Amino acid sequence: MSLPPVSTHDAGDEAERAACAFLEKTGMRVVERNFRARGGEIDIVARQGDILVFVEVRFRSAEGFGAPEETVGLPKRRRIASAAREYLSRIPPSSWTEARFDVVAVAGTGPDAAVRHYPGAFDARGKLL
């Protein structure tokens, strides 16, 4: 990451940029950011071959109150799954073979920020895997 963000919105945006860079280094292709639907929002939609990956990005500047990945509760997971269903209804069914829900946690700011990726973190009902 670059300079420390000055607001929570800036911090979240910086964390999403760091998550995108991390995912792209692993071979994923980011196809959309901040997809909003009536039921919720998806921070990042990425592709890994024919697999669509819906990514929730969580940020904490420090882990004194817990890790960022611990903040993805059941209501949030259900809203993400609802938004994912809306996203899937808007694209051709032949454009994907599988979908999954990942979480990317960004802890800290600047070059010392830790990025952790949890592929397949939960299912379409919001259940932790």
**Residues shown for the chain:** 129
- Which one, of 125, 129, 74, 72, lies nearest residue 103 by Cα? 72
| Three-state secondary structure of 97-123 | CEEEEEEEEEECCHHHCEEEEEEEEEC
- The CATH topology of domain 8-114 is Trna Endonuclease; Chain: A, domain 1 (3.40.1350)
Amino acid at position 80, single letter: I
Question: How confident is the model over 10-69, as pLDDT tens digits?
Answer: 777 888 999 999 999 999 999 999 999 987 999 999 999 999 999 999 998 776 778 888
Residue extents of the structural domains in the chain: 8-114
Say whether pTM exceeds 0.85: yes
